[in-house]
Amino acid sequence: MDKFSDTRKKILQLTKEWEGMLLTLNNADTIKRQNSQKRTIKQIVGHLIDSASNNTHRIIHLQYQKNPCDYPDYANLGNNDRWIAIQNYNNEEWLDLIQLWKYSNIHLAHVIQNINLDCLRNEWISALNEKVTLEDMVIDYPRHLKLHLSEIEELMRD
């Protein structure tokens, strides 16, 4: 049985569907509108790249580090905004950004497929001192992805 088959399918389906929609946007449109967090479409896509990358690394660390795992938390305490600023996503080539987002998610789906199921209860400690199991982290990823894609969708309508 493939425990995370539905999760992987959701990630890959969203990636395929949204790649086409993102490709319809021109560079000017990706940097002129901002969401409630003052992020442009490019910055939201950049955040999603960071999320895919960091989740990939956490999934790997949770399978071999001591439990609970104290892996850096990029998303809380304003760090995700620092990541966005430091990487200057608004000046990244739009097509490159789309491809990086796409392949980061395809790779994450691959990593999820290869998780050692004996490690699912291993925990990561967030910057907010919350314990999150490997299983919960994986299951929650599509929700997080959809949340930010819906922000992009809203900006596309404006």
- Taking only the tens of pLDDT, the chain with its 158 residues reads 589 999 999 999 999 999 999 999 999 999 988 888 899 999 999 999 999 999 999 999 999 999 999 888 888 887 899 999 999 999 999 999 999 999 999 999 999 999 999 999 999 999 899 999 999 999 999 999 999 999 999 999 87
What pTM does this model have?
0.95
Q: Omega before 72 cis (within 30°)?
A: no
- Look up residue 15 and give its two tokens: 């990636």
Report the 3 state secondary structure along the chain: CCCCHHHHHHHHHHHHHHHHHHHCCCHHHHHHCCCCCCCCHHHHHHHHHHHHHHHHHHHHHCCCCCCCECCCCCCCCCHHHHHHHHHCHHHCCHHHHHHHHHHHHHHHHHHHHCCCHHHCCCEEECCCCCEEEHHHHHHHHHHHHHHHHHHHHHHHHC
Sketch out the chain's domains with CATH numbers. Answer: 5-157 (1.20.120.450)
